């Protein structure tokens, strides 16, 4: 009986995994970050970027990653949108992910695709620099 209950709990956790909540733009993301004193994660992507799609569909959608990203303010921007990328450092390739504090200071960044383990290490590095507020 206990095995059945544990199995049901594990299945429920899989079915109701954390879904990432993305802000509509850079301005709203940083306004929210300043109000809540949180870190912003910016995903810079492109229209026809296969690695961007893979990053979103495999790494960022993995339960272990999406759960760790819950305390962050998340925003996706298109590389070609000059208004959204004007305050970011130079973007050399796609995808590029920046972790910034509420004052737009870069804490960490990664260029190109990262697998789940690599991305977890990046989150660890951010969290060593800034204690998270959940």
**pTM, to two decimals:** 0.85
At 42-58, the pLDDT tens digits run 999 999 999 999 999 99
pLDDT of amino acid 131: 77
Domains located in the chain, CATH noted:
18-129 (3.40.30.10)
pLDDT of 82 strictly over 60: yes
In terms of pLDDT, which residue wins out, 45 or 19?
A: 45
CB 123 within 8 A of CB 106: no
d(Cα 134, Cα 120) in Å, to the nearest integer? 18
């Amino acid at each position: 009986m206990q095995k059945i209950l544990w199995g049901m709990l594990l299945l429920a956790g899989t079915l109701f995994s954390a879904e990432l909540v993305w802000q509509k733009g850079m301005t709203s993301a940083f306004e929210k970050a300043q109000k809540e004193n949180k870190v912003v994660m910016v995903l810079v992507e492109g229209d026809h970027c296969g690695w961007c799609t893979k990053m979103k569909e495999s790494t960022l959608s993995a339960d272990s990653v999406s759960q760790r990203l819950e305390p962050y303010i998340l925003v996706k921007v298109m590389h070609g949108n000059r208004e959204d990328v004007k305050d970011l450092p130079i973007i050399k390739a796609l995808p590029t992910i920046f972790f910034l504090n509420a004052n737009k200071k870069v804490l960490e960044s990664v260029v190109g695709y990262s697998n789940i383990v690599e991305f977890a290490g990046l989150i660890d590095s951010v969290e060593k620099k800034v204690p998270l507020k959940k």
